[in-house]
Amino acid sequence: MTPTGMSDIVIDIEDLGKRYALSRRHRPDSLKSWLRSLVRQARTTSPHPSADEEFWALKNVSLQVRQGECLALVGRNGSGKSTLLKILSRIIPPSQGRARVRGRVASLLEVGTGFHPELTGRENIYLNGAMLGCPERDIRRRFDAIVDFSGVERFLDTPVKHYSSGMYVRLAYSVAAHVDADILIIDEVLAVGDGEFQQKCLSHVGTTLASGKSAIVVSHDLALIRLLASHVAWLREGRVCEVGPVESGVLECYSA
């Protein structure tokens, strides 16, 4: 995105694709039909499903993010934004291409991701911190700061299945903010928090970027994107339609 060499690239996405099989027509309903399907598969020259049996959630996506940059992903629902974030978060594998990520990643995707509903907020701080690669001793050292940032101290020993979505987000973001991640990945979850906490998170993201760390965010809030992002990638039907600096006009083309 900027001509400053390769050493500061923290996310390098090259020709990335994610394919899902759609067809249920040939699902065998007996041992005999299953054996027949194996014979048919052995005779075909292609290991991949035919075009009418597959759906590409992402296709030929190539992007880069450098240290200190915030890349915003925009696009209609179903354009592939969340799929891309799940690949970068190592939740699902790509079907083609590669995504190289350098450094520790803290991901905030769907509300409740990384939390066990039967465990208390206190227990989930340690669980979620471990999932984000933070040693237990570091979580213990940062525990009070995490709780203070989240504002859920009164409910710390309550199972999180009783939390509201806003409380989930508060605690999840607070853990992610204190695991010393190199890259933040945020998928629309801040939209469910209250205004005061959103401002707290925005301030934290700004400080994180200023320290040379990076972020990828998905949001339908164009004002927030203009505030946070340095670059924008517009996804449409699983492909990169346009990409460029936030002031380059990509957002204007997307929202037109």
Query: How far is residue 9 CA from its own chain's centroid?
Result: 18
Q: Is residue 99 part of a domain?
A: yes
Query: Residue 31 has what pLDDT?
Result: 57
Question: What phi and psi values does residue 63 have, to the nearest 5 degrees?
Answer: -150, 160
Q: Is residue 3 part of a domain?
A: no
Query: Residue 125 has what pLDDT?
Result: 97
Query: Residue 54 has what pLDDT?
Result: 86
Query: Residue 23 has what pLDDT?
Result: 60
Query: Residue 188 has what pLDDT?
Result: 80
pTM over 0.85: no
Q: Is residue 88 part of a domain?
A: yes
Cα distance between residue 47 and residue 199, in whole Å: 50
Q: Is residue 2 part of a domain?
A: no
Cα distance between residue 88 and residue 70, in whole Å: 15
State whether the Cα torsion 129-130-134-138 is positive or negative: positive
Question: Residues 6 or more apart from 38 whose CB is under 8 A from it?
Answer: none
Provide the residue type at 144 as one letter.
D
Query: Residue 2 has what pLDDT?
Result: 44
User: Mean pLDDT, 10 residues at a time, over the chain (256 residues)?
Assistant: 66 97 59 62 57 85 97 96 95 96 89 86 96 93 96 96 91 92 87 79 91 94 92 98 95 91
Query: Residue 165 has what pLDDT?
Result: 87
Cα distance between residue 190 and residue 180, in whole Å: 19
Cα distance between residue 252 and residue 46, in whole Å: 42
Query: b/e per residue, 94-127, with b = 16+ CB within 10 A?
Result: bbebebebbeebbbbbebbbbbeeebebbbbbbb
In the chain, how many domains are there? 1
Residue 203's domain comprises: 9-255
Q: Is residue 140 part of a domain?
A: yes
| CB-facing half-sphere around the CA of 125: CA atoms within 13 A | 30
Q: Is residue 188 part of a domain?
A: yes
Q: Is residue 243 part of a domain?
A: yes
Question: What phi and psi values does residue 108 have, to the nearest 5 degrees?
Answer: -120, 100
Question: Residues 6 or more apart from 246 whose CB is under 8 A from it?
Answer: 72, 225, 226, 229, 230, 231, 232
Q: Is residue 120 part of a domain?
A: yes
* CATH number of domain containing 24: 3.40.50.300
